[in-house]
Amino acid sequence: MAVRALTATLGNLLLLIIRPFVQGILTLVADLTSPFKRMASGVRHMSQLKDQLEVEDASQLRKAKRQYLRSGIKKYFPLAWNALTYVLPVAAAVLLVVIVRNGLNVRFVLNVQVNGETVGYVANEQVFENAREDVQSRISTAKDMLVESGTTVPDTQWDVSPTYTLAISGRTMTESEIANAILRTASDEIVDATAVYVDGELRFVTTEGDHLRTYLESVKEPYEDALDPSVYTAFAHEIRLVDGVFLNESISSYSDIINELNAGGGIQTYTAADGDTVQSIVDATGVSFDSLAQLNPELETLDQEVSEGTELITGVASPELLKVKVVRREMETVSIPFDTQNSESSEYEFGEVVTLQEGEEGSEDVTYEVTMIDGVVTDRQAIAYTVTKEPVPEITVTGTRLKSGMVAQIGSGSFIWPVPQYTYVSRWMSSGHRGADICAPYGVTIVASDSGTVVAAGWHYSYGNYVEIDHGNGYTTLYGHMSRIVVTQGQAVTQGQKIGEVGSTGNSTGNHCHFEMTYNGSLFSAYSLFPGM
């Protein structure tokens, strides 16, 4: 009975929760389908009017159908309105999505204008700014040419201020194309020409662009090697030729441009001074004796004297603007060092290092890009690495088993200060002193600077009561002049463990701890690890 009562209660609760949703769905379906059901019923009734009414002609039948239709619309309009209250929000949401998607797909461009007149379209503001700077550069070049010729140039001459507005469509132009279009509005005195940009700066404008291109290619030709794909050539300074429209006043003669490009080139010489020898000339010019001898056959030995005023050829320099860089790719095989993986094991004696796997170096092919200018390497960069052999790690294990049967911990190689409650350091290691003297009151605790094994704990005529610890990794530490020793030889200790107390035993004149450190048998100063103590 309890189960039945519980089941009935849960059923009623479930029904109470579900009923509103079901009723809502049924109401929605009824509201959406009722207008169509009534419409279908009305169509059937209109088709049956001919049999139900006694009419004599077709006009009377059409009139009866119209009256029936008007009454049906008037009677069942609330049903259609209920359906629309559901349909209209859905339609509005669909329309919004369509509008947003179409809006996002609209491609906006910039409509570039000069004095209100459209000159073209560009893709973005950066293209516009670059084109405007290019136009100003062309105008400045023309003004400079006029100034050099002695002509006065008003500041407002060829004053061009392009602007832009947003546009939805239009064929976009490149920086050079829009710059040409803008310049055409500045003056009627324009000409098709070729601009010479050197390292991004407009330097010259010529109407002999094709001839200049041929000349520049001929300069690079001797350095090229068509049979070696790993070599390519280019000018050390970026030289770019761009065709476009330019002001007549900016045009330079072809010969002047060639002379400017070749400035600074030619044969380099050195004029000998009084007392010069071949050796002193080599030192002064930095040119090797072999190069000097090839250029000047009269030079035979380094100690040969050269008469004052003698002009010697030291080399041939390329013009600064036409220096050709030869970039060659070369490959070099280099070794990859192997890693060492060390672990500890109680199967071996403390400090014993056993090699389980020998390490092997790997190798890789490194591709370098070497740049030479005038026969001198100016840059060498690695651009690709290809591993040809993976390195094999060296695997070693260090023993931790003591003769007493205890297992010691190998030192970490990171040390702590052995007398935490010290007062000061009276002196560090020097040529006549093997360690650091750490002063502290009588009985202050001395701790192990790192983990390891006590290899000595007893009396020494100079150290007095002392402890020496082997850390198992090449390091050892020694603590002297103790008033009391609290560890024994062969005992394993951990970093920070108490090993004794400060005293003044042995060759000592006051309470302190004498602290020595060695690595692979060689002493080193604790000051290198604890400079701030």
Are residues 311 and 331 located together in one domain of the fold? no
For 122-153, give the secondary structure using H, E and C. Answer: ECCHHHHHHHHHHHHHHHHHHHHHHHHCCCCC
Number of domains in the chain: 4
pLDDT (mean) for 145-169: 76
Are residues 448 and 477 located together in one domain of the fold? yes
346 vs 401, 409, 469, CA distance in Å? 5, 10, 18
What phi and psi values does residue 133 have, to the nearest 5 degrees? Answer: -65, -35
**Torsion-angle region of residue 150: left (phi > 0), alpha (psi -120 to 50) or beta?**
left
pLDDT value at 408 more than 70: no
pLDDT (mean) for 511-524: 95
Cβ within 8 Å of residue 238, ≥6 positions away: 197, 198, 199, 200
**Residue finishing a domain among 369, 395, 421:** 395
Whether residue 248 lies inside any domain: the answer is no
Asked if residue 183 lies in contact with residue 245, where contact means CB atoms within 8 angstroms, the answer is yes
Query: Which among 48, 89, 46, 95 is positioned nearest to 66, based on CA atoms?
Result: 46
pLDDT value at 374 more than 80: no
For the question of whether the overall pTM of this predicted structure is more than 0.75, the answer is no
Whether residue 376 lies inside any domain: the answer is yes
Instruction: Specify the range with the lowest mean pLDDT, choosing from 75-84, 121-130, 242-251, 513-522.
Output: 75-84
Distance CA 454, CA 476 (A): 10
Are residues 334 and 309 located together in one domain of the fold? no
Asked if residue 478 lies in contact with residue 515, where contact means CB atoms within 8 angstroms, the answer is yes
**Residue finishing a domain among 371, 395, 419:** 395
Packing angle of the helix pair 175-184, 125-148 (nearest 10 deg) = 50
**Host domain of residue 385:** 326-395
pLDDT value at 519 more than 70: yes
Whether residue 10 lies inside any domain: the answer is no
Q: 52-63, pLDDT tens digit by residue?
A: 666 566 776 677
What is the Cα 439 distance to its own chain's centre? Answer: 53
Whether residue 234 lies inside any domain: the answer is no
Are residues 301 and 341 located together in one domain of the fold? no
Q: 470-497, pLDDT tens digit by residue?
A: 998 899 999 999 999 999 998 999 999 9
pLDDT value at 396 more than 80: yes
Distance CA 181, CA 175 (A): 10
Are residues 524 and 482 located together in one domain of the fold? yes
C-alpha dihedral over 32, 35, 41, 42, to 10 degrees?
-170
Residue position matching structure tokens 């060759």: 507
Asked if residue 269 lies in contact with residue 314, where contact means CB atoms within 8 angstroms, the answer is yes
Q: Are strands 340-349 and 394-401 parallel, antiparallel or unpaired?
A: parallel
CATH number at residue 462: 2.70.70.10
C-alpha dihedral over 242, 248, 253, 256, to 10 degrees?
-80
